[in-house]
Amino acid sequence: MKRPASTFRLNAKLARATWGELSRTEVRGLRSLTEEYGLSVASGDLQLLEGRWYVTHAGLLRIALRKHCCGIRSALVERLSDPLSGRWIFRATVYRSPRSRGFVGFGDADPSNVSSLVRGAEMRVAETRAVNRALRKAYGIGLCSVEELGSFSRRPQSPPPQSKGAQASNVSSSNGQPRLRDQLCLVVRKYNLNPTLVKAYAADFCGTETISGAGRDLVESFISHLSALANENRDALVCKLNSYAAQEPQS
């Protein structure tokens, strides 16, 4: 009987450590999601973006596993897809039981509605979105999934000219987009990477002593590079990061 309460306390503690102090609305939302769906912050089931909770693909799969999902089928909708323009549409069906007729969800992705972090992987994004929507239908989950969001891909409008001295601060500025620091943290959390080793790798990649000394363009390139490596072969990336372990600063 005490398990939901203890799970919520752990979720709240980890959420504050990850995203800072939570508002009352955010705390109530986290409690509801914990109690209703058994989602875990530690397992990467949830993301807090701009004051709203979003479920992740991993969280939806865990819910399906607990509900004894019978199977998931996905297929490319070829007649509506356009490989030349990078537009892909998938149809996914979730079967709750062997006799289930299936719950259908569609997912689309193209360069205009995906984050720059996954640019070039629109086909995989479309399939993930389709599966997420089908899972949310099958199990009555009204919470949007973070993979369905396309707002991260919006480009800033007419950014003002900046001096060289402002390059380092650009790592923390948004110009209408999520801060680069937040984008990097999102990749680190999504793939469960060691943040200290990632910083060391970033400095090496950018050719600077620390990542804060790199220009915005270099940091953006690194984030895109890191996300692509993690998506393609996380184990290989972890091995590469471990090579920087000897370079960790001594406390």
Which pTM was predicted? Answer: 0.59
Each residue's pLDDT tens digit, 125-158:
999 999 999 999 999 998 899 998 864 433 333 3
So what's the pLDDT on residue 178?
53
207 or 27: whose pLDDT is higher?
A: 27
In a domain, 159, yes or no: no
So what's the pLDDT on residue 123?
93
Residues 34 and 89 in one domain: no
- Of 102, 122, 150, which residue constitutes the final position of a domain? 150
Domain count, the chain: 3
Each residue's pLDDT tens digit, 44-99:
999 998 899 999 999 999 999 999 999 999 999 999 999 888 899 999 999 999 99
- What is the average pLDDT across 92-113? 93
Instruction: Tell me which residue of 126, 88, 95, 91 sits closest to 105, measured CA to CA.
Output: 91
- Of 87, 120, 150, which residue constitutes the final position of a domain? 150
Residues 50 and 71 in one domain: no
Is the pLDDT assigned to residue 1 strictly greater than 60? no
Residues 45 and 84 in one domain: no
- Of 119, 150, 181, which residue constitutes the final position of a domain? 150
Is the pLDDT assigned to residue 161 strictly greater than 70? no
- What is the average pLDDT across 35-47? 92
So what's the pLDDT on residue 246?
60
So what's the pLDDT on residue 68?
95
R_g of the chain computed on alpha carbons: 20
Residues 142 and 193 in one domain: no
Residues 104 and 146 in one domain: yes
Cα separation, 243 vs 175, whole angstroms: 34
Residues 39 and 87 in one domain: no
So what's the pLDDT on residue 45?
93
Instruction: Tell me which residue of 59, 63, 56, 48 sits closest to 16, measured CA to CA.
Output: 48
Each residue's pLDDT tens digit, 205-244:
877 888 777 777 778 778 878 888 888 888 888 888 888 7
In a domain, 224, yes or no: yes
In a domain, 1, yes or no: no
Q: How confident is the model at residue 247 (pLDDT cuts 50, 70, 90)?
A: low
In a domain, 163, yes or no: no
Q: How confident is the model at residue 166 (pLDDT cuts 50, 70, 90)?
A: very low
Residues 142 and 216 in one domain: no
CATH number of residue 122's parent domain: 3.30.160
Residues 6+ apart with CB under 8 A from 85: 110, 111
Residues 44 and 72 in one domain: no
- The residue range of the domain holding 22 is 8-55
So what's the pLDDT on residue 204?
83
Residues 92 and 124 in one domain: yes
Dmax over Cα atoms in the chain, in whole Å? Answer: 64
Residues 51 and 71 in one domain: no
Q: Is 238 exposed, middle or buried (0-12, 13-18, 19+ CB in 10 A)?
A: middle
In a domain, 162, yes or no: no
